[in-house]
Amino acid sequence: MKSHVAHVGIALAIVATFAATSVFAQQIPAARDFDAEIRTALQSAKTAAGFEFLGTLARTCLLPQSGGEDTTDNLPGYVTNPASAPARETWYAEPARVFDNLSFVGGKIHSAWALTTSQGIILIDTIFPYNSEELIVGGLQKLGLDPKNIKYVLISHAHGDHIGGAEMLQTRYGARIVMGAPDWDAVAKFPNRYKTMAPKRDIVATDGMKITLGDATVTMWLTPGHTPGTLSYTFPVLDRGRRINVAYSGGTAFNFVNNTPDPGIKNFQIYIESARHMAARAAETGATVLLSNHSEFDNAFNKNRMIAGRGNGPHPYELGADWVQRYFQVMQGCARVAQLGLEQKRVAAARR
Ligand SMILES: [Zn+2]
C-alpha cells in the first residue's frame, strides 16, 4: 500500500513536471545556443578547407569583411591618375598555358582566362583598366595567340578588378560581352565609377545559358551574393587530350550588407543558396577543377609555376570532385557563421 501511494506520488510528480515543462516550452522557446552553432559551422568550414582552400577560409571566415557594396559614383584613382595605379611588380605575372585549350592571362592577384576554341577565344574576366593591355593582350601574344580572335568576354561581376578591360576589348576587337542583368544595370547607373570600363550593354546571362564557340561551350549560372549579378561557370577543358570539367566560382568575398540583421540575414541566405547551386552544378558535370578570379581562392599564381615541373604527375589544378565540393562547403560554412552571428544579434536586440 505504502509503495502504491509512493508510485502514485511519483507519477503525479512526473505528470506535473511534464505539464510544467510543456507550458514553459510553449511560452518561452528553449534558448538557442548560438555560440555552439557558430563553433560547429566554423569547424565545418575549417575541415572542408583543409590545406587547399586556406585563402578562401581566411577571406570568408577570418578576415574583416567589407560590409557593403560601393554605392558611390566616384572615379577610381587609377582612371583619373594612371600613375597612381599599383606598381607593376605588385601585379605582373607571366601568362601560362594551363590546359591544352585554357590559358592564364591574369596577374599575381587577379585572374583572366582564355578558353581557345576552333573558332576563336572566349575570355573570362578582364582585370583592371591599367593592366589588361599588358596582361591580356600582351599575354595572349606571348603565348602565340591573337587577341583579335577574342569573340566573347564573360564578366563574372562588375567590379573594377574584373570588368576593367571589357570596354577596351569590345571597342578594339568587337568582342561580345556577357554579364548578369543587375551588374549591367550597375554599369549604367554609375558612369563615373565605370569610366573607361563601361562596355555597351550586350548579352544578358540567364541561368543555364550556354555560350558556344566552335568546339567549346561554357554554361553560365546565376550565383548572386558577392554582387547581385555574379555569374559562375561550368565548362570542359582538355588536359593532354583528356577531357576534364571545371567549376568557375565568380565571386567569393562577402561584399554586401552583412553587418546588420536586416538585410544581412537575407543576403547571407542568397549567398548560401548560390554556393549550393554551384556545388550541385559542379557535381552534375563531374567538375574536378576549381577556378576563380583571384589567386587567393584557387592558388592560380602558384599553381601556374608548378605546371612546368609536373612531368608525368597529376595536373596541379586537378583536385578531384570531392575537393571541388569542399570549396563550396567553405563558402557555405563561413557564410553560415556570419549569418548565425546576425541571428544572435537580432535575438539579443529583441530581448532587450
Ligand atoms: Zn568583386
Residue 6 lies in a domain: no
For 151-202, the pLDDT digits (tens) are 999 999 999 999 999 999 999 999 999 999 999 999 999 999 999 999 999 9
What confidence category does residue 30 fall into, taking pLDDT thresholds of 50, 70 and 90?
Answer: confident
C-alpha 69 – ligand 1 centre gap (Å)? 9
- Beta-carbon contacts of 300 under 8 Å, excluding residues fewer than 6 positions away, are 104, 106, 111, 291, 292
Provide the percentage of residues in the chain whose pLDDT is more than 70: 92
The backbone torsions φ and ψ at residue 139, rounded to the nearest 5 degrees and listed phi first, read -65, -45
| Distance set, CA 39 to CA 35, 225, 281 (Å) | 6, 23, 28
Sign of CA dihedral 315, 319, 321, 325: negative
- Position with higher pLDDT, 268 vs 14: 268
Residue 28 lies in a domain: no
Strand 289-292 versus strand 242-249 pairing type: parallel
C-alpha 352 – ligand 1 centre gap (Å)? 37
Residue 327 lies in a domain: yes
> DSSP string spanning 77-96?
HHHH-GGGSPPHHHH----E
C-alpha 213 – ligand 1 centre gap (Å)? 27
For 109-134, the pLDDT digits (tens) are 999 999 999 999 999 999 999 999 99
Residue 94 lies in a domain: yes
Residue 9 lies in a domain: no
- Which residue is listed with cell 507519477? 11
Q: What was the pLDDT predicted at 31?
A: 84
Q: Residue 111 corresponds to which cell in the numbers above?
A: 585572374
CB atoms within 10 A of CB 16: 10
Residue 10 lies in a domain: no
Task: Give residues whose Cβ lies within 5 Å of ion ligand 1.
Answer: 159
Q: What was the pLDDT predicted at 69?
A: 83
What confidence category does residue 75 fall into, taking pLDDT thresholds of 50, 70 and 90?
Answer: very high
Is the model's pLDDT at 16 over the cut of 50?
no
> DSSP string spanning 326-342?
HHHHHHHHHHHHHHHHH
C-alpha 182 – ligand 1 centre gap (Å)? 14
Q: What was the pLDDT predicted at 6?
A: 47
C-alpha 260 – ligand 1 centre gap (Å)? 21
Residues spanned by the domain of 46: 34-351
Residue 8 lies in a domain: no
The CATH number given to whatever domain includes residue 221 is 3.60.15.10
C-alpha 241 – ligand 1 centre gap (Å)? 33
C-alpha 252 – ligand 1 centre gap (Å)? 8
Q: What was the pLDDT predicted at 65?
A: 85
Per the structure, how many domains does the chain have?
Answer: 1
Quick one: which of 337, 247, 339 has its CA closest to 45? 337
Residue 19 lies in a domain: no
C-alpha 25 – ligand 1 centre gap (Å)? 45
H/E segment holding residue 150? strand 150-154
What confidence category does residue 28 fall into, taking pLDDT thresholds of 50, 70 and 90?
Answer: low
What confidence category does residue 5 fall into, taking pLDDT thresholds of 50, 70 and 90?
Answer: very low
What confidence category does residue 2 fall into, taking pLDDT thresholds of 50, 70 and 90?
Answer: very low
C-alpha 254 – ligand 1 centre gap (Å)? 9
C-alpha 56 – ligand 1 centre gap (Å)? 14
Residue 324 and residue 247 in contact, taking contact as beta carbons nearer than 8 Å: yes
C-alpha 159 – ligand 1 centre gap (Å)? 5
> DSSP string spanning 14-54?
HHHHHHHHHHHHHHSPPPP-HHHHHHHHHHHHHHHHTTTSH
DSSP secondary structure letter of residue 168:
H
C-alpha 4 – ligand 1 centre gap (Å)? 74
Task: Calculate the CA dihedral of residues 174, 175, 178, 184 and round it to 10 degrees.
Answer: -40
Quote the pTM value. 0.90
